[in-house]
Amino acid sequence: MEEKNNKLNKEMKDLVIVRLESMPDTIKIAFGSGKELTKEELIKHVKEEDKFGKLIVDMQVKYLESLKNL
Amino acid sequence: MSEKFLITRPTHDDRVSYLDFWSKDIIKFAEDKNIKYSDFRGKKANKEEVTKFLQKQNPKLVIFNGHGTDSIIFGHKNQPLIVSNENDILLKEKIVYAIACDCASKLGITAREKGCKAFIGYTQPFGFVKDASKECIPNKDEFAKPFKEFSNEVSLALLKGKTAKEAKESSQKVATKLLKFYSGSDALPEYKEIRFWLFWDKYFQELIGEGSAKFLEV
């Protein structure tokens, strides 16, 4: 079961990375007190699975689920 | 109508300059409706002046624009204005809307414990999409516009006499409307990011305290 969950998480992570890779270079994300987030930085957080990266994956999943109710 | 509100709007970097620009609509609305306010913009958004004003003028509503952490709302040049368990008693009896990252996760709670009537803020960083080619020109940035609409709705609803709960709900409805608008079949590639970060801000917007608290009786 744990292996299945890990695989699922990897699938989610890969899906989010694919989505982030499609982020246009014409925009920046103003976020928090640090400098703006670029596509590369967002992907790095997700790949490294740090606290923020995990939150991005979690929120992307919640966001995709929410689209069903729009 | 004698109630007044305080608005802080530092201008020392690009991101707070966006919030500063967005606040112009709130100020214009207040002026059109003869609602009294004090505008602590730029250097005036400092701890000394804000503290003095909160203590002596006792505004019923405070709108903070600026950077934040879970326990601090910052002003000009990231000088702390309100710090959890240090001077959050200044928010006693007040309705607060903080467009500042994270501060609803801790500061909002401790302020409430000190008697803040209602605190609307964000439990994670507030994010918005910027047009990379329009940096420092917030009035020309169409990608940032929906975030202004979503965030400003809280303040505007409060100035229209809505309760804190209604103001939050109204902002949430604006977010839903915008999420639909930016989902059209002719959506630009940038709209996908606008939708996600709007969803993010909508999800992490929080009301702590009395939902029935009102700035104005109309």
Chain B contact for A31 (CB, 8 A cutoff)? yes
Q: What is the pLDDT of residue A1?
A: 45
Tell me: pLDDT of B97 over 50: yes
- A-to-B residue pairs, Cβ atoms closer than 8 angstroms: 74
What average pLDDT does range B183-210 have in this prediction? 93
- DSSP secondary structure string, chain B? ---EEEEEE--SSHHHHHHHHHHHHHHHHHHHTT-EEEEEEGGG-SHHHHHHHHHHH--SEEEEES-B-SSEEE-GGG-EEEETTTTGGGGTT-EEEEESTTGGGTHHHHHHHTT-SEEEEESS--EEEEEGGGTT-GGG-TTTHHHHHHHHHHHHHHHTT-BHHHHHHHHHHHHHHHHHHTTSTT--HHHHHHHHHHHHHHHHEEEEE-TT-BS---
Tell me: pLDDT of A6 over 80: no
Chain A contact for B70 (CB, 8 A cutoff)? no
Determine contact, residues B20/B65, Cβ cutoff 8 Å.
Answer: yes
As a three-state string, the secondary structure of B165-205 is HHHHHHHHHHHHHHHHHCCCCCCCHHHHHHHHHHHHHHHHE
Of A19, A26, A62, the CB nearest to B132: A26
Minimal Cα distance from B73: which residue of A? A33
| Torsion sign over Cα B160, B97, B180, B148 | positive
Minimal Cα distance from B135: which residue of A? A28
Look at B69 and A63 and tell me if their CB atoms are within 8 Å.
no
Minimal Cα distance from B101: which residue of A? A32
Of B67, B183, B195, the CB nearest to A33: B67
State pLDDT tens for residues B36-94: 999 999 999 999 999 999 999 999 999 999 999 999 999 999 999 999 999 999 999 99
Instruction: Classify domain B4-209 at the CATH class level.
Output: alpha beta
Close Cβ partners of B212 (under 8 Å, ≥ 6 residues apart): B163, B164, B165
Lowest mean pLDDT among A5-14, B128-137, B163-172: A5-14
Look at A63 and B200 and tell me if their CB atoms are within 8 Å.
yes
Which residue ranges make up each domain of chain B? Answer: 4-209
Determine contact, residues B118/B209, Cβ cutoff 8 Å.
Answer: yes
What is the interface pTM, i.e. ipTM, of the complex? 0.88
